[in-house]
């Protein structure tokens, strides 16, 4: 079996490219771009990258998607190739696609997902939103204006040859009625909320700045966790 191509040691946060697109990016274009970037990172031909963008209204189907949970396909439906079920993406929602090389960052997918959640929670806390994980449920949760537990952020990851693809979404000010065409992430009993719906200033720029500020901590926590992510905790 051929050996994988050599790669540089894990870089720190300052060496990772940040790309921000102001115009809406079509989903197939983004998918192709991130896959090409992941292959280039594996080959040692490109740097790791965080890509922040928005999509036009669409639904994506993860590898565990149940067709019964596609209630009203009012928007295009795309196979995502990531884990998870159906999700909605659209204007007013911050998408973050992560091409991060885990070969020198512990090769631990559970650790990556755990601290990706932590990064999202820290960024939202900066905006005055008390977000949290929920036992047994993927995603980022908070209490909505009616006091109900509601989902404000989603994540779905694929790892190919230890380079990550896909990433997360955080609802800034999307049209929440658009989520009604699916059972979001297969959880019909829980509503979806957004920064705007919580009465907070719905600024994409403010969220981006918070994500950028907490990114070095997220990167510093990527390592192997042994038997479980609780062994890594949330320390540096």
Burial 178-215 (b: 16+ CB within 10 A, else e): bbebbbbbbbeebbbbbbbbbebebebebbbebbeebb
Tell me which H or E stretch contains 166: strand 163-171
Cβ neighbourhood burial of 135 (10 Å; 0-12, 13-18, 19+): exposed
- Give the pairing of strands 132-134 and 137-143: antiparallel
**Could you say which of 185, 210, 211, 232 is catalytic?**
185
Residue 184 contacts residue 141 (beta carbons within 8 Å): no
Let me know if 232 is a catalytic residue. Answer: no
- Catalytic site residues? 185
């Amino acid at each position: 079996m051929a050996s994988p191509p050599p790669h540089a040691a894990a870089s720190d946060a300052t060496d990772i490219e940040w790309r921000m697109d102001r115009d809406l990016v079509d989903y197939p274009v983004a998918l192709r771009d991130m896959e090409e970037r992941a292959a280039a990172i594996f080959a040692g031909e490109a740097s790791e990258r965080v890509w922040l963008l928005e999509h036009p209204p669409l639904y994506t189907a993860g590898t565990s998607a149940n067709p019964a949970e596609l209630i009203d396909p009012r928007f295009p439906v795309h196979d995502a190739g990531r884990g998870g079920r159906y999700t909605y993406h659209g204007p007013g929602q911050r998408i973050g696609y992560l091409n991060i090389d885990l070969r020198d960052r512990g090769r631990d997918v559970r650790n990556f997902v755990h601290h990706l959640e932590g990064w999202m929670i820290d960024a939202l806390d900066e905006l005055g939103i008390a977000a949290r994980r929920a036992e047994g449920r993927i995603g980022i949760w908070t209490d909505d204006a009616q006091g109900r537990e509601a989902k404000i952020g989603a994540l779905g990851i694929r790892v190919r040859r230890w380079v990550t693809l896909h990433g997360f979404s955080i609802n800034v000010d999307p049209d929440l009625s658009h989520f009604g065409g699916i059972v979001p992430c297969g959880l019909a009993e829980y509503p979806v909320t957004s920064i705007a719906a919580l009465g907070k200033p719905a600024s994409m720029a403010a969220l981006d700045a918070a994500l950028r500020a907490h990114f070095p901590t997220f990167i510093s926590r990527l390592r192997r966790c042994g038997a479980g992510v609780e062994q890594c905790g949330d320390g540096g």
